[in-house]
Amino acid sequence: MKPFQSIMATTNSLEEERMNEIYKITSLLIQTNIHDFTEILNISCGFLQMETGIISQVIQEDYHIIDYDSNNKELQLKNQIFDLKDTFCEITIRENNVFDIDDAATSYLKGHPCYSKFQTRSYIGVPIISEGKKFGTLNFSSSYANPKKFNQADRDFVQYLGQWISNYLDKRSFEKQIAEKNEELLKLNQELEKNNENLQKIMQEKDQLSQILLHDLKSPLSNIKMLSFLFEEMVTNSETEELFGIFNKSMQDVFHLISQMETLNSMESTPIKPYIEELELNAFVRDIIGNFLKSADEKNISLNYEPLPSALNIKTDSNLLTRVLNNLFSNAIKFSSFNKQVFITLQTQNEQFSVSIKDEGPGIHPHEMDKLFKRFTLLSNKPTNNESSSGLGLYIVKELLEKLKGSIDVMSTPGQGSLFKVNLPLTLVAN
């Protein structure tokens, strides 16, 4: 009989050895880059005093060995496939819990194929769950009876290790999905870049074609307009005069539309850089109003102009400002009924000036206010004398005001007209 001190020394030595093995396994488990489980299985076999450790995947009724380690070097199990029913893992998966056998030869499982066919006498295993589904098993087995009975510490250890492997497989699956999604995204981005390049080419070709068409249209239309002036002198009766009036008005609408399209093409094809020059504001606005007197007289609309009390020189791009005011004056007349008034007022405040255009038209419905400055947007209100409307005027106004460092305010009440107020700096500073 061994002395008590000798027994205690042996026990302490075994516990220390097991603690070292647990430390080794823990050190491996906290690593982020693990290419296979061989080393973990090897240390775990030593911890459990088992011969072979296996990680398997179960596909239907087939038992696939995806990784293993064994003291029996004659075993070659990697990628081997067995019938699940011939393994103790079938019981492990069915019970969905840790399952262990100390000695199959002396248990109710002595007739099981795993013992009779493969001579597996001791076994402990746990199901592996991946992505919420049963993946396979982590199991340890020996061709000899377990020299010590499996205790709760052994079961907890196998349970913990199985959970870690489950989590690791989930992580690896997730990383694979992320990599696949990233690859798909990369392909989509490459396709998108290619499509964008093609779209850019198409847009450039469209712009060039549009510019050519507009240029080619202006030449014959200008000839027609000149001929109309010549024939107008030959008018002999009121009926023919009325027809020429309709014709000339239609020509004006066409030239206005061409001018709008040219402005749009210019804004989209090349960056607009304002050309800053000095001008006298009162006279500048008065001259622009003069261009609309005829169209206002045709509808008996009064243009009421309130200039500044005294002359004021400003520095801005006269061409861009002219386009802005042309569109706003044109709209005020176009959407006003006959026998109405349009009020144009100039004001200055805090190094800024404003041009207000107030009409007595139908006003703008509140639900349409957010559509005002969008391209090709036609609102419910229609011109009152069959004038044309492209839906570009206010879009162009907003775009050009950005170049002039200005803004526009709109106030409108249905049935009571609208007020458009353009705000601009007295001195435009170039970028």
Do residues 63 and 105 make contact, with C-beta atoms less than 8 angstroms apart? no
| pLDDT at site 401 | 93
What is the mean predicted confidence (pLDDT) over 229-239? 66
Task: For residue 251, give Cα distances in angstroms to 93, 234, 285.
Answer: 87, 19, 25
Does the pTM surpass 0.85? The reply is: no
| Distance separating alpha carbons of residues 65 and 74, to the nearest angstrom | 16
Q: Which of the two residues, 31 and 248, has the higher pLDDT score? A: 248
What is the mean predicted confidence (pLDDT) over 80-86? 94
- Which residue type, as a one-letter code, is found at position 243? L
| pLDDT at site 11 | 43
| pLDDT at site 78 | 86
Note the pLDDT tens digit of each residue in 99-116: 999 999 999 999 999 999
Q: Which of the two residues, 324 and 29, has the higher pLDDT score? A: 324
Do residues 136 and 55 make contact, with C-beta atoms less than 8 angstroms apart? yes
Count Cβ atoms below 10 Å from residue 409 Cβ, excluding itself: 11
pLDDT over threshold 70, residue 246? no
Confidence of residue 8 (pLDDT cuts 50, 70, 90): very low
pLDDT over threshold 60, residue 334? yes
Note the pLDDT tens digit of each residue in 119-142: 999 999 999 998 888 999 999 999
Range scoring the smallest mean pLDDT among 233-242, 284-293, 373-382, 387-396: 233-242
| pLDDT at site 244 | 66
Domains of the chain, first to last = 4-179 (3.30.450.40), 272-425 (3.30.565.10)
